[in-house]
Structure 1
Amino acid sequence: MNNELTIAAKAVQLYAERHPRPCQVTITQAAEMLGLSRHTVSKMVRAGQFRLNKCGLIPVEQIDAALQPV
């Protein structure tokens, strides 16, 4: 069992190394990450809950903060 966990951890590490997280995401990507609709995330942007950067993207740190438990 321990060997299986070691293999699984290594697989996750290899995936993360080959697929780095973006530093900014589109509204659609943010919606997927949050489990919300694109429309809902757009409303959250208009309400000021998320701020778009100069490229019109949401910094991933904002998504991470929204996913943190209160």
Structure 2
Amino acid sequence: MDIYKEQMAQELPRLFDGAMGTLYAQSTGMSSDLVEAANVTNPEAIRSIHGRYLEAGAQCLLT
């Protein structure tokens, strides 16, 4: 087994939750349909939500 596979076998699996649109809608009062463009139109809200994920212990962020 190569080192990468060995390391991955010892770590917990990475789980991804698709709740970004829901959190965006709750945080901004805007439609979750707008979250796809929010990286450009509302980057402060996206940074804030990602910050909350990091504070909660997230190890991976996807935007």
TM-score by structure 2 length? 0.29
Query: Which structure carries more strand by proportion?
Result: 1
Larger RCO: 1 or 2 (CA < 8 Å, sep 6+): 1
TM-score calculated relative to the size of structure 1:
0.27
